[in-house]
Amino acid sequence: MDLPDTPTLVRTALADALALLLPVVCAGCGASDSSLCEDCRRALQPQPVRRFIHADGGPIPVWSALPFEGVPARVLRAIKEEGRTPLVRMLAPAMRATWERSGAEECAVVPLPTSHGSYRRRGYRVPDLLAAQTGQPVARLLRIARRAGDQRGLDRAARRANVAGSLRAVAPGPHRLRAVVLDDVVTTGATIAEAVRALRDAGVDVMGAVTAAATPRRAAAG
Domain residue spans of the chain: 6-214
Give the pLDDT of residue 171: 86
On whether the 6-214 domain is CATH 2.60.40, my answer is no
Which residue pairs, CB below 8 angstroms and at least 24 apart, start in 33-36? Answer: 35/84, 35/86, 35/87, 36/75, 36/87, 36/90
Give the pLDDT of residue 150: 64
Walk along the chain (222 residues) in steps of 10 and give the mean pLDDT of each run.
Answer: 56 58 82 92 96 90 97 96 94 94 89 86 92 91 81 68 82 85 94 95 94 75 40
